[in-house]
Amino acid sequence: MTPNALDMLRAMARIRAFETALSERKDHGFQLLSSGEEAVAVGLASALTERDQLLTGGRSIGPAIARGVDPRAVMAELLGKTAGVNGGRAGRGHLSDPASGFFGAHAVVGGNISIAAGVALAKQMDGDGGIVAILFGDGACGAGALHETLNIAAKWKLPLLFVCNNNQWSVSTSREDALAPARLSDLGKTFGLPSRTIDGLDVEAVAAALGEAAQSVRRGEGPAFVECISIRLRSHSTTARETRKRDELAELRTRCPIRRQIARLGLDDDAVEALERDAADFAAAALAFAEASPYPSAAEVLTDVG
Amino acid sequence: MTPNALDMLRAMARIRAFETALSERKDHGFQLLSSGEEAVAVGLASALTERDQLLTGGRSIGPAIARGVDPRAVMAELLGKTAGVNGGRAGRGHLSDPASGFFGAHAVVGGNISIAAGVALAKQMDGDGGIVAILFGDGACGAGALHETLNIAAKWKLPLLFVCNNNQWSVSTSREDALAPARLSDLGKTFGLPSRTIDGLDVEAVAAALGEAAQSVRRGEGPAFVECISIRLRSHSTTARETRKRDELAELRTRCPIRRQIARLGLDDDAVEALERDAADFAAAALAFAEASPYPSAAEVLTDVG
Amino acid sequence: MLDSAVVATKKMFFREAIAKAVREEMALNDRIMVMGQDVGSFGGSYREFDGLFGEFGAERVRDMPVAENASIGIGAGAAAAGYRPLVTITYMDFLMLGFDPLINYAAKLRYKTAGGLTAPLVVKTTAGAQGQGVAHSQCIEAWLMSVPGLTVVAPSTPADAYGLMKTALRADGPVVYIDHKRLFPAPGEVPVLESLVPFGLAAVRRAGTDVTITAHSFMVRMALEAAETLESEGISCEVIDLRSLAPLDMPAIAQSVARTGALVTLEEGQLTSGVGAEVAARLFETTGHRRWARVGALPAPVSSNPVLEAACVPDARRVAEAVHKLLAR
Amino acid sequence: MLDSAVVATKKMFFREAIAKAVREEMALNDRIMVMGQDVGSFGGSYREFDGLFGEFGAERVRDMPVAENASIGIGAGAAAAGYRPLVTITYMDFLMLGFDPLINYAAKLRYKTAGGLTAPLVVKTTAGAQGQGVAHSQCIEAWLMSVPGLTVVAPSTPADAYGLMKTALRADGPVVYIDHKRLFPAPGEVPVLESLVPFGLAAVRRAGTDVTITAHSFMVRMALEAAETLESEGISCEVIDLRSLAPLDMPAIAQSVARTGALVTLEEGQLTSGVGAEVAARLFETTGHRRWARVGALPAPVSSNPVLEAACVPDARRVAEAVHKLLAR
Ligand SMILES: Cc1ncc(C[n+]2csc(CCOP(=O)(O)OP(=O)(O)O)c2C)c(N)n1
Ligand SMILES: Cc1ncc(C[n+]2csc(CCOP(=O)(O)OP(=O)(O)O)c2C)c(N)n1
Ligand SMILES: [Mg+2]
Ligand SMILES: [Mg+2]
């Protein structure tokens, strides 16, 4: 058992419970949840230090929490409350907390990749040893922004870790139907980046591979690219139609990264119960905090525009 | 001597003479010439049939002429005259003549690549056996449009031949400074395309390689990618500052594809003189035709808008 | 005009009206194809292409990767080469990613080829705010209106969604067809038999005598709501649904304002250099000045926050207020 | 205001004024960097960065590949993370390729983070027609004006090119700085000592009593030329150089029109939902209606053809005609 294997499991369980609690409320419109993808978020977070920054696409709740953003402030943000990490105005797909090393989500698919490269450029010029990680989906790999950014990041040797969370779907479109490369990590290889494709359901493997990649980036060897193959256990969003068959989903659930880590660690029923209780408490505390916070006032609409 | 080796030489010489004649006039503002790149245009044209279409970036005079567009109408177009292939309104960087298999130039760098894929989609649906070639520069390889189009073209197995004329410069920026991939043809390889990098100064090699690539595209095997490494003997445009040193340019001139083909074919002085006379006549006829044509009238400004 | 003709109709949702138009046109013209994200077996984000994939197959109804630039470029190229692609861009905000092929290529193609080539491309996209946040809520149709060579339409009823889509799929040059997130759940009567809504024709949605309100897309409903309220206060509003933004039906607006003597322009997007500014400018150029007020979003991004979103975009109350103020002048 | 202050000046070209501003600011603030195509040893397409590469090195003056989207995105990210990038986009037409990071990210950043993050990014680009054809000649500044969170400036003199660039490089949020192909060869007096031109302040370029002409960028010269001609006919024009399009200096315009009683708005871009429509709309909202005419491009793409280009974009003759017509009303 690696030192933080249990911590990583706990972190995954907390994300799952948090998102489940959130999904049971309807007052947020809809949310992009990450069941099945927790190992990527948690493994990635374990590879980052205080000096680093993480940016993500719209599916950002798990990564933000894994990175250490106050879960209460995340919940409040997602429910549009003033105690939210951005006062309730960023909401789904846009939350950010640079002080916690979470530079932000951005819900335009592919849109945060070049932004992350800019943050990495700042890090490089600061010379403080920090790196930047950008987490994006398989869907984003079709976007030209990735290509443009890979090229410049490679030429400038930016301290940027490209992490593709390949959950194999962009809404209803499969990775196979959408993307021609044999492996998505080939996209990094073309530009000379150290590039790997790994099992994104194995949190320890993710932590190890991303830890290694982050090290090479941190050593100043330029960007690296890691594709984590994961699964999406729920539909694209809490209001989107599920397009996969029941039996396909049932099969997917057998590969749940949390169940897998529980099995690997050989937790007994008591330990699992404790894990679930901790996670439920975590979610409940966040929800209670968020509920206690008010909505912003309409008068705020013109503040902080430009 | 391959059957059309002399024809290809003549075609290259004609392009050179045409562009030289054009460059000596100042009433066109400026032009993007292709000295040093004639072998790519002529070799590519030799790989295309009547049913095919060619699209290019802004450096389009040589390719248009090689493709068989009436040189007189090209000259008139470049001088803004009504006898131009587009009535004098497309001008530099935008000329087109689909009836001659030249679907058109488009001066936005990278901007014609997806358009070409659309034309290729039309060809595929027509099922008439025609293919489309898109000629773009090394500079265009930095643009996201290339990535997006490569991916879709690969997935849809479009009859599209990607031809990168890598003249090693984008204005003042060298290919090395701008682009990270070891070979630009690696960009095609990532998407599973048959991809090669060839000597773009050897017209016979270009014709052979592009002929082969065009065949595989024509057989329905999907797109192919060929990078032709060429040289640009003049500055970026007729009004752009030259940034390279005299001796560098002198060295480049020794690699001129026309001189090379003359040497390979062992032409004697008389044959060279005949070649040059033919080329000069070709250019002079085009210029005379263009000069005889009037400018459009200002009243035309609102015609054919939408 | 459609509204005054007597035609058999059937109640359907906006999305069904779109699908009906596309289905009919695809059956008539085998050069029409649909291309975009999740338009295939999924049937479109709002089910607006439901069933087409099954009926017409994967050749003519194509899922595309997230690649807005190339999607529009490929559509434009196929259009120039003789097909009639309908390219969908999920939200109008992402249309910016495809502006280069749309505006720098497709909209200029006929001009630069002196009529030799055209790009009969339809780009369908969805505008407006419905809790989706700063980068998924914008209304930038005023920008598109200003592009020579582009046609821009934005229906507010299922019947117009149907009739304008059919016209778009027969048009000569690029058309941007804008629907709205909040219109998809709206039912309405749609002609059963084939019927087209021509470009450049506005529709009077409500006759009135005191003030003319122009609007398009979802805001037509806000105008009608406001008109309802105002009627109870004795103010009679004429509501004009622009439907087509480029070309604009200036005669219809002029006729109405000639009668009412007052104009409120309403749009969900930004007022600055917006649709309303243009409607008023063109009107006054021919008729001389009339009383005018414009209503649009406040000058701020549209947050997904329900309070801030509601504060930012116009609603019936703000329209009614504007009418009150204008008539009090 | 700059024009009324007594300051030592030196004659220089527009491009030199830009370089001077950037040089001074880079020396003062080591977080400023220049990024764009051919800005390094080449010194910029119009030599507007001449010498900076030598002085500040490849770290702070960076050549970029042809990748407008990522160039603006990287600039925006670096800005959000504490730097002050000046990103150049050769022609405004290509700015569309970078609209997503500029408009969907940078312009919204302060709002969506409730003030937590800002993007002090300057995007410099070149507008206007000079024989470059349909995809290299557009003026789309009106679109940018309408984006909440964006500042937009467009100088017409070397002194303002200098003063506005300095202000831009000290601003809090994203600024689009627009120069013009035809202005680069223009010399003008530029303050020798450091001096800033604030945003939101127009400049009266010529005092007059009969009509106010507003313009920006190269069109200010057309306005001044027209004013010259008209003076010989006894018509006195006041010419206002807007300089800053967002924010607009409405008080300056209002004061002028209050005196002259007539307004001609002039722009090189399309009239539809343009700068002039907005200037007039805002003015009349506060002052009530005044006589107004607008002059801009004809509704067509701008061909590189010399005859068609000249026919499409406004010149002094068309401005003078518009003034005549307006005053004859
Ligand atoms: C530029 C752009 N196009 C389309 C969308 C709509 N959209 C939102 S999420 C999504 C799926 C993206 O797939 P992927 O990148 O794999 O992320 P995942 O949803 O699987 O986490 C799409 C297409 C968007 N937000 N931005
Ligand atoms: C999108 C875009 N960005 C910038 C330019 C300006 N520009 C015109 S030609 C050119 C060089 C492109 O280099 P390359 O693709 O190698 O073609 P070459 O000029 O070498 O033929 C550039 C940057 C443009 N036309 N379009
Ligand atoms: Mg995915
Ligand atoms: Mg080149």
Which DSSP string do the residues of chain B spell out, in sequence order? --TTHHHHHHHHHHHHHHHHHHHT--TTS-----TT-HHHHHHHHHT--TT-EEEE-S--HHHHHHHT--HHHHHHHHTT-TTSTTTTSS-TTT--BGGGTEEEE--STTHHHHHHHHHHHHHHHHTSS--EEEEEESGGGGSHHHHHHHHHHHHTT--EEEEEEE-SEETTEEHHHH--SSSTTHHHHTTT--EEEEETT-HHHHHHHHHHHHHHHHTTS--EEEEEE----S-SSTTSPP-S-HHHHHHHHTT-HHHHHHHHHT--HHHHHHHHHHHHHHHHHHHHHHHHSPPPPGGGGGTT--
Residue nearest to atom 11 of ligand 2 (CA): B170
Which residue stretches of chain C have pLDDT < 70?
1-5
CB-based contact D81 A122, cutoff 8 Å: yes
- Residues of D with Cβ-Cβ distance to C99 under 8 angstroms: 96-97, 99
Cα-only R_g, chain A: 19
| Cβ–Cβ under 8 Å, residues B13 and B279 | yes
Residue D249 lies in a domain: yes
Four-residue CA torsion sign, B202, B207, B212, B213: positive
Same domain for D69 and D177? yes
Q: Which of C16, C25, C48, C136 is catalytic?
A: C136
Residue D112 within any structural domain of the chain: yes
Is A262's pLDDT higher than 70?
A: yes
State which ligand 1 atom lies nearest to the alpha carbon of C45: 6
* Cα atoms in the Cβ-side hemisphere of radius 13 Å centred on A211: 9
Q: What is the pLDDT of residue B50?
A: 97
Active-site annotation of D, residues = 68, 136
Clarify whether residues D15 and D141 are in a common domain.
yes
State which of D144, D171, D191 marks the end of a domain. Answer: D191
ipTM value, please give it.
0.98
Q: Is the CB of B107 under 6 A from ligand 2?
A: yes
Nearest bound ligand to the CA of residue B57? 2
Taking the Cβ of residue B93 and every Cβ of chain D, the question of whether any pair is shorter than 8 Å is answered with yes
Residue C3 inside a domain? The answer is: no
Indicate yes or no: CB of A179 within 8 angstroms of CB of B151: yes
Place of tokens 């990735």: A146
**Cα–Cα distance between A263 and A246 in angstroms, integer?**
24
D residues 97-136 near C, CB within 8 Å? 97, 99-100, 103-105, 107-108, 111-112, 133-135
Task: Calculate the average pLDDT of chain A.
Answer: 97
Residue C1 lies in a domain: no
Residue C275 and residue C248 in contact, taking contact as beta carbons nearer than 8 Å:
no
Residue C2's pLDDT is 46
Count the domains in chain C. Answer: 2
Q: Is D254 helix (H, G, I), strand (E, B) or coil?
A: helix
Which residues in C lie closer than 8 A to residue D73 (C-beta atoms)?
A: none
Q: What is the model's pLDDT at position B2?
A: 59
Same domain, yes or no: C173 and C78: yes
Residue D65 sits in a domain of what CATH number?
A: 3.40.50.970
The answer to whether C146 contacts D274, with C-beta atoms less than 8 Å apart, is yes
Give the CA angle between residues A241, A245, A249 to the nearest 5°.
Answer: 95
Are both C175 and C238 inside the same structural domain?
no
* Same-domain check for residues C145 and C215: no
How close C123 comes to chain A (CA, Å)? 19
**Could you tell me where the DSSP H helices lie in A144-300?**
144-155, 175-178, 186-189, 203-218, 246-253, 257-265, 269-292
CB D37 near ligand 2, within 6 Å: yes
Q: What's the token pair of residue A217?
A: 């980036």
**Nearest residue by C-alpha to atom 25 in ligand 2:** B108
Q: How many helices (H) and strands (E) in chain D?
A: 13, 14
All domains of chain B in start order, with CATH: 26-70+98-267 (3.40.50.970)
Residue in chain B closest to C74 (alpha carbons) equals: B118
pLDDT mean values, one per 10 residues, chain B (306 residues)? 84 98 91 97 98 98 98 98 98 97 98 98 97 98 98 98 98 98 98 98 98 98 98 96 96 98 97 98 98 98 96
Q: Looking at the domain assignment, is residue C64 inside a domain?
A: yes
Is C293 within the bounds of a domain? yes
Residue nearest to ligand 2 atom 17, measured at CA: B137
Residue D196 domain flag: no
State which of D191, D224, D246 marks the end of a domain.
D191
Best CA proximity match to B51, nearest among B10, B1, B109, B101? B101
Same domain? D19 vs D163 = yes
- Is C196 a member of any domain? no
Average pLDDT over chain D, rounded to whole?
97
Tokens (6 digits) for C238: 């004429």
pLDDT for the residue D2: 46
**pLDDT classification of D4: cutoffs 50, 70, 90:** low
- Ligand 3 centroid–CA A141 distance in Å is 9
In a shared domain, residues D169 and D222: no
Residues D291 and D236 in one domain: yes
- Nearest chain A CA: its distance from B196 CA (Å): 14
Asked whether residue D146 carries a pLDDT value surpassing 70, the answer given is: yes
Interchain proximity D135–B90, CB inside 8 Å: no
Confidence at residue A2, expressed as pLDDT on a 0 to 100 scale = 59
Q: Which of A108, A114, A236 to mutate to probe the C interface, most C CBs <10 Å?
A: A108
C37 and C176 within one domain? yes
Which SS3 state, helix, strand or coil, does residue D91 take?
Answer: strand
State which of D157, D191, D225 marks the end of a domain. D191
The residues near C57 (Cβ < 8 Å, ≥ 6 apart) are none
The CB of B37 under 6 Å from ligand 2? The reply is no
- pLDDT per residue over A29-71, tens digit each? 999 999 999 999 999 999 999 999 999 999 999 999 999 999 9
D65 CA distance to ligand 2 middle (Å) = 9
Task: Determine the average pLDDT of the residues in D267-273.
Answer: 98
- Ligand 2 contact, D167 CB (< 6 A): no
**In this complex, which of B94, B172, B301 lies closest to D311 when CB atoms are compared?**
B301
CATH classification at residue C296: 3.40.50.920
Closest-CA distance of chain C to residue D254, Å = 17
pTM assigned to the model: 0.98
**Residues A94, C304: C-beta atoms closer than 8 Å:** yes
Instruction: Give D106 to chain C, closest Cα distance, Å.
Output: 11
Same structural domain for residues C287 and C216?
Answer: yes
All residues of chain B having their beta carbon less than 8 Å from the beta carbon of residue A189 are 190
Domain region containing D129: 9-191
Q: Are C71 and C181 members of one domain? A: yes
pLDDT digit string, tens, across residues A199-210: 999 999 999 999
User: A touches which chains (3+ CB pairs under 8 A)?
Assistant: B, C, D
Instruction: Say whether both C180 and C36 belong to one domain.
Output: yes
Q: Is residue B93 in contact with ligand 2, taking CB distance under 6 Å?
A: no
Could C108 and D134 be called an inter-chain contact, meaning their C-beta atoms sit closer than 8 Å?
yes
Q: Counting atoms of ligand 2 from 1, which one is nearest the CA of B236?
A: 19
| Binding partners of B (≥3 Cβ pairs within 8 A) | A, C, D
Q: Is C141 a catalytic residue?
A: no
* Ligand 1 atom 17 nearest Cα: A137
